[in-house]
């Protein structure tokens, strides 16, 4: 049995513990503490470097000519709106360059990019437009749309209090609220008119649609020969496939806004008619350039005059609101072309 030497032990809780074990334990704890402190210091240093990089990037942007220009003297309302339009064009152009690097964009694609850059319709997922309809502006109208192809038209008539609704659920139209007897042919005609009026963002949403991405842009939109309309030089785009009505969209060559659209329909009597919509100047208080109103012409004669009083953009609109209600007079309507 080895000899017990007190100088070689520490008495801990009444028990002799060899000093070398105590020293080893203390050294191990010290090493662990140092290792943890080193790791913490490394993480803090790394975060500090990242913060410095972020700050430098922010400073570089803030001191760029574009940022300094935007931070200059207060703008007028018109200048601010025009500035937002320019920003949209720049953002859209940057996006296109990044997506199609090395590719040659077609004239149609370039035209539509300019149209979206000016209107901002590519940033709109839903809209609700309230206004008045009729020469005396006593009847109420509500147009509703949700990307990519859901539309609704609601009119309330002041003289009778009647409320009529037309809807498009993505594949067919429906009609609700008509009190008098109506033939299916008449319902098809009226819902076609409502769809032509209510689909204000159809050109933009067709360009951004899944069909355009999967089957090619020409499967839903086609560039037509230029035309002069009301003294304006206009690019003409034919939309088809997504909505059941082929529509000709007239894009002003200077402003890149849709100023007119037309479609050929069949009326109640079975006659072929030309329906046109003339859009007014854009509303100035929105992040997207919706028109202040429009006029509906049938065979060249004024049929309706609509003035918008309120817009609500990008609100949560359930797709079920575009489904036909149980009391609809007509469902699964297709236009007579």
Q: What is the CATH number of the domain that holds 205?
A: 2.50.20
DSSP 130: E
Is residue 67 situated within a structural domain?
no
pLDDT band, residue 28 (cuts 50/70/90): confident
The reply to whether 316 and 227 lie within a common domain is yes
The reply to whether 33 and 158 lie within a common domain is no
216-220 average pLDDT score? 96
Q: What count of other Cβ atoms lies within 10 Å of the Cβ of residue 176?
A: 18
The reply to whether 136 and 274 lie within a common domain is yes
77-99 vs 107-119: helix axis angle to the nearest 10?
140
Lowest mean per-residue pLDDT among 34-43, 89-98, 112-121, 198-207: 89-98
Given a cut of 70, whether residue 53 has pLDDT beyond it is no
Is residue 154 situated within a structural domain?
yes
Give the tens place of pLDDT for each residue, 73-84.
334 434 444 444
- Where are the extended beta strands (E) located within the chain? 9-12, 15-18, 126-133, 139-146, 150-156, 163-168, 173-176, 221-229, 232-239, 247-252, 258-266, 272-279, 293-298, 301-313, 330-333
Is residue 6 situated within a structural domain?
no
Is residue 71 situated within a structural domain?
no
Using alpha carbons, select from 148, 97, 134 the residue that is nearest to residue 304.
134
The reply to whether 246 and 143 lie within a common domain is yes
The three-class DSSP label of residue 185 is helix
The count of structural domains within the chain is: 2
Among the candidates 36, 53, 70, a domain finishes at 53
- Domain containing 140 equals 121-333
Residue 76 pLDDT? 42
Is residue 107 situated within a structural domain?
no
Give the tens place of pLDDT for each residue, 55-106.
333 333 333 333 333 333 334 434 444 444 444 444 444 344 334 444 468 9
Among the candidates 8, 29, 53, a domain finishes at 53
102-131 average pLDDT score? 91
179-193 average pLDDT score? 89
């Amino acid at each position: 049995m080895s000899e017990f030497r007190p100088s070689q032990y520490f008495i801990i809780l009444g028990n002799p513990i060899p000093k070398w074990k105590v020293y080893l334990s203390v050294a191990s704890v010290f090493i662990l503490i140092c290792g943890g402190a080193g790791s913490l210091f490394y993480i803090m240093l790394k975060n500090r470097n990242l913060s410095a990089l972020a700050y430098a990037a922010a400073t570089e942007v803030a001191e760029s000519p574009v940022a300094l220009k935007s931070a200059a003297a207060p703008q007028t309302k018109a200048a601010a709106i025009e500035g937002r339009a320019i920003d949209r064009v720049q953002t859209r152009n940057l996006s296109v360059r990044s997506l199609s690097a090395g590719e040659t964009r077609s004239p149609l694609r370039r035209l539509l990019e300019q149209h979206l850059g000016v209107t901002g319709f590519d940033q709109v997922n839903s809209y609700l437009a309230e206004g008045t309809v009729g020469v005396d502006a006593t009847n109420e109208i509500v147009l509703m749309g949700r990307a990519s192809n859901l539309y609704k038209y609601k009119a309330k008539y002041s003289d009778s209090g009647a409320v009529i609704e037309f809807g498009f659920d993505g594949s067919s139209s429906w009609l609700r609220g008509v009190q008098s007897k109506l033939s299916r042919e008449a319902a098809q005609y009226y819902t076609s008119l409502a769809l032509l009026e209510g689909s204000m963002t159809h050109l933009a949403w067709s360009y951004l649609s899944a069909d355009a991405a999967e089957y090619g842009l020409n499967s839903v939109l086609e560039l037509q020969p230029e035309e002069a309309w009301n003294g304006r030089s206009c690019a003409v785009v034919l939309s088809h496939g997504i909505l059941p009505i082929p529509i000709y969209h007239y894009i002003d060559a200077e402003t890149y806004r849709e100023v007119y659209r037309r479609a050929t329909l069949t009326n109640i009597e079975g006659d072929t008619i030309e329906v046109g919509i003339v859009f007014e100047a854009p509303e100035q208080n929105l992040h997207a350039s919706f028109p202040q109103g429009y006029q509906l012409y049938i065979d060249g004669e004024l049929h309706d005059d609509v003035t918008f009083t309120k817009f609500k953009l990008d609100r949560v609109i359930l797709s079920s609101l575009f489904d036909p209600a149980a009391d609809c007079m007509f469902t699964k309507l297709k236009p007579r072309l």
